[in-house]
C-alpha cells in the first residue's frame, strides 16, 4: 500500500507569511489520511538575511536570492509566492511557464490588467493554481457555511462579509509599501485584504450586479525612512454595498475591508440573514457560532420571541486532524487547512469540500475593485464590467 505522494514546495518571499507557511508544513502529520505530503525544499528572497531563518528546516536544500533560480530547480513541484503586489504579474507568469504549480498570494496582480495577464498565462498552461485566503477555513466559518448550505436560512434577506484591522490606526506609524499605490495598487486596502472578504460571497455565487462604494484615505501622510512626512496615496478603508440578483429576489451584500477599525486586531466575519434563519461567525470569538431559527424561541414567555443561540465549535474544519474536537482552533490551524485543501484538490481528492480561491475568482475581485473605485469617484451606483 503506497503512502502519501511527496510534493516538493518552494517559497518565494521569506517574510512573515513565508515563515508562517513553512511552520504550517512542519505540522502536516496532524492531518489524517491526506493524499499528499509536502516537503519544503527551497526558499528565495532578495534579502540574504531572510534566508537564514530557514536554516533550521533541514529539508531546505535550495536557498537563492533570485526566484528564477528556484523556478529552474528540479527540487520544486509547487511554489508559494508571498511578494509585493507590484511583483505578482511577472512572478506568477514565470512560475506557470516554468511548469510549476502555484499557490499565489492575493490580490493576484496589482490591478485588473495584471490579473488579465496572469489568468491568460495560467489558462495557456497545465499548471494547477489557487490563491491564498485562509480565514474561511476556521471551523466556525465552515460551520456557518454548512448552516447556509443546509437551507435553514431560507430566502436570503442580507449578507455581510468583512475583514478588519486596526494596524494603521496610529497616525505616526511609518509608511509601508501597503500605503503606496506604486507598490500596493490604486485599490489599496481592497487589494491587500479584499480577497479574504470576497472569497465566500464569490464561492456562494453572491456576485453583485450593481454596487456603491465609500472609500477612505484617513491618514494622507506618514513618516518616511528619515522621518520626513511622505504621501500615503492608497485608501485604508473600503465599504461596498452591492445588490445581488437571485432567483428568489434581490438582496444586499455588504463587504467591508478596513485597515483602520479601532478595536479590531485581525478580524474576519460573516453574517447571513434569511427568512427562516440566520448565522454569524467572527474570528474575534473563534469558538462561538451564533445562529437563529425562525419559530424556535426561548423558554417560558420567550417562546414566541426570535432568539439568537450560541454554540461552541471545536477544532475540525475541511480536512480531519488528530486534534481533539473539543479544542480551540486558530490562525495557524486555518493556514494548515488551506494547504490541506490546496494539495487535496491538486491530487483530485478534495471532493465537495470547501476549496481555495480559484484564479477566476481572484480575477473577478479586480473587476469589483475597479467598479468600487469608479463608484466612489463618481458618487454613483456602478455595474461591474466582466
Q: How far apart are the C-alpha atoms of 274 and 292, rounded to whole Å?
A: 10
Domain count, the chain: 2
End-of-domain residue from the set 106, 131, 156: 131
Domain endpoint, select from 131, 148, 180? 131
**230-255 confidence digits (pLDDT tens):** 999 999 999 999 999 999 999 999 99
Residue 6, C-beta contacts closer than 8 angstroms, at least 6 positions apart: 36, 37, 38, 39
Identify the CATH number of the domain in which residue 193 sits: 3.30.360.10
Residue 344 counted as domain residue: no
Q: Tell me if 335 is assigned to some domain.
A: no
The CA distance from 225 to 243, in Å, is: 43
List of the chain residues with pLDDT < 70: 1-2
For the stretch 304-318, what's the b/e string if a residue is b when 16 or more beta carbons lie within 10 angstroms of its beta carbon? eeeeeeeeebbbbbb
Could you tell me if 321 and 192 lie in one domain? Answer: yes
Query: Does one domain contain both 13 and 161?
Result: no
Q: pLDDT tens for residues 143-152? A: 999 999 999 9
Pairing of strands 210-216, 237-244: antiparallel
Do residues 165 and 263 share a domain?
yes
pLDDT of residue 1: 47
Radius of gyration of the chain (CA): 21
Q: State the CATH number of the domain containing residue 124.
A: 3.40.50.720
Listed residue (66, 114, 120, 121) closest to 98, CA to CA: 121
Q: How far is CA 46 from CA 295, 302, 334, in A?
A: 60, 63, 28
Domain that residue 94 falls in: 5-131
Task: Kindly state whether residues 197 and 302 are assigned to the same domain.
Answer: yes
Query: What percent of the chain lies above the pLDDT cut of 70?
Result: 99
Q: Of the residues 107, 131, 155, which one is the last residue of a structural domain? A: 131
* Domain-embedded: residue 338: no
How high is the mean pLDDT of the chain? 95
Which segments of 185-305 does DSSP mark as H helices, in order? 189-203
Nearest to 337 by CA among 31, 19, 7: 31
For 181-250, strand residue ranges (E) read: 210-216, 221-223, 229-231, 237-244
The two beta strands, 277-282 and 288-293, are antiparallel
Provide the greatest CA pair distance for the chain.
Answer: 71
Q: Cα–Cα distance between 118 and 172 in angstroms, integer? A: 36
Q: How far apart are CA 153 and CA 251, in angstroms?
A: 13
Residue 187 lies in a domain: yes
Closest CA to 95 of 75, 114, 116, 76: 76
CA distance 226 to 354: 46
H-state helical runs in the chain: 16-26, 48-51, 67-71, 88-97, 112-123, 139-149, 181-184, 189-203, 331-346, 359-378
Same domain, 81 and 157: no
Q: Are residues 185 and 110 in the same domain?
A: no
DSSP state, residue 190: H
Looking at residue 306, what is its pLDDT?
Answer: 85
Residues 62, 174, single domain; the answer is no
Evaluate whether residue 205 is within a structural domain.
yes
Q: Coil, helix or strand for 40?
A: strand
Q: Indicate whether 310 and 371 sit together in one domain.
A: yes
Quick check: is 349 in a domain?
no
For residue 2, what pLDDT is reported? 65
Q: Do residue 86 and residue 140 come from a single domain?
A: no
**113 and 156 fall within a common domain:** no
Assess if residue 320 is contained within a domain. Answer: yes
Q: Examine the domain organization and report whether 260 and 367 are in the same domain.
A: yes
Residue 346 lies in a domain: no
Question: In this structure, are 215 and 263 located in the same domain?
Answer: yes
The Cα 188–Cα 194 span in angstroms is 9
**What are residue 3's phi and psi, to 5 degrees?**
-90, -170
Amino acid at each position: 500500500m503506497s503512502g502519501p505522494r511527496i510534493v516538493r514546495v518552494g517559497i518565494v518571499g521569506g517574510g512573515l507569511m513565508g515563515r508562517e507557511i513553512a511552520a504550517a508544513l512542519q505540522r502536516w502529520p496532524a492531518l489524517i489520511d491526506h493524499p499528499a505530503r509536502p516537503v519544503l525544499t527551497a526558499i528565495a528572497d532578495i534579502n540574504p538575511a531572510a534566508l537564514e531563518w530557514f536554516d533550521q528546516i533541514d529539508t531546505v536544500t535550495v536557498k537563492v536570492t533570485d526566484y528564477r533560480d528556484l523556478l529552474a530547480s528540479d527540487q520544486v513541484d509547487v511554489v508559494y509566492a508571498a511578494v509585493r503586489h507590484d511583483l505578482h504579474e511577472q512572478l506568477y507568469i514565470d512560475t506557470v511557464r516554468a511548469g510549476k504549480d502555484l499557490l499565489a498570494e492575493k490580490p493576484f496582480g496589482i490591478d485588473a490588467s495584471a490579473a488579465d495577464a496572469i489568468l491568460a498565462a495560467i489558462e495557456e498552461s497545465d499548471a494547477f493554481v489557487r490563491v491564498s485566503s485562509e480565514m474561511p477555513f476556521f471551523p466556525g466559518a465552515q460551520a456557518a457555511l454548512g448552516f447556509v448550505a443546509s437551507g435553514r436560512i431560507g430566502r436570503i434577506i442580507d449578507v455581510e462579509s468583512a475583514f478588519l484591522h486596526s494596524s494603521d490606526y496610529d497616525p505616526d506609524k511609518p509608511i509601508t509599501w501597503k500605503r503606496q499605490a506604486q507598490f500596493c495598487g490604486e485599490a489599496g486596502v481592497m487589494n491587500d485584504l479584499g480577497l479574504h472578504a470576497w472569497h465566500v460571497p464569490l464561492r456562494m455565487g453572491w456576485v453583485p450586479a450593481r454596487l456603491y462604494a465609500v472609500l477612505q484615505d484617513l491618514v494622507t501622510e506618514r513618516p518616511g525612512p528619515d522621518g520626513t512626512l511622505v504621501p500615503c496615496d492608497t485608501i485604508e478603508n473600503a465599504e461596498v454595498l452591492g445588490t445581488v440578483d437571485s432567483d428568489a429576489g434581490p438582496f444586499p451584500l455588504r463587504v467591508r475591508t478596513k485597515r483602520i477599525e479601532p478595536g479590531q486586531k485581525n478580524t474576519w466575519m460573516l453574517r447571513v440573514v434569511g427568512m427562516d434563519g440566520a448565522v454569524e461567525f467572527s474570528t474575534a470569538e473563534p469558538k462561538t457560532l451564533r445562529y437563529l431559527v425562525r419559530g424556535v424561541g426561548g423558554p417560558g414567555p420567550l417562546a414566541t420571541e426570535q432568539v439568537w443561540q450560541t454554540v461552541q465549535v471545536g477544532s475540525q474544519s475541511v480536512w480531519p486532524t488528530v486534534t481533539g474536537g473539543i479544542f480551540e482552533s486558530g490562525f495557524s490551524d486555518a493556514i494548515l487547512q488551506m494547504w490541506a485543501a490546496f494539495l487535496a484538490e491538486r491530487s483530485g481528492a478534495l471532493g465537495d469540500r470547501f476549496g481555495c480561491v480559484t484564479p477566476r475568482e481572484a480575477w473577478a475581485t479586480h473587476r469589483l475593485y475597479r467598479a468600487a473605485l469608479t463608484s466612489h469617484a463618481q458618487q454613483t451606483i456602478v455595474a461591474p464590467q466582466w
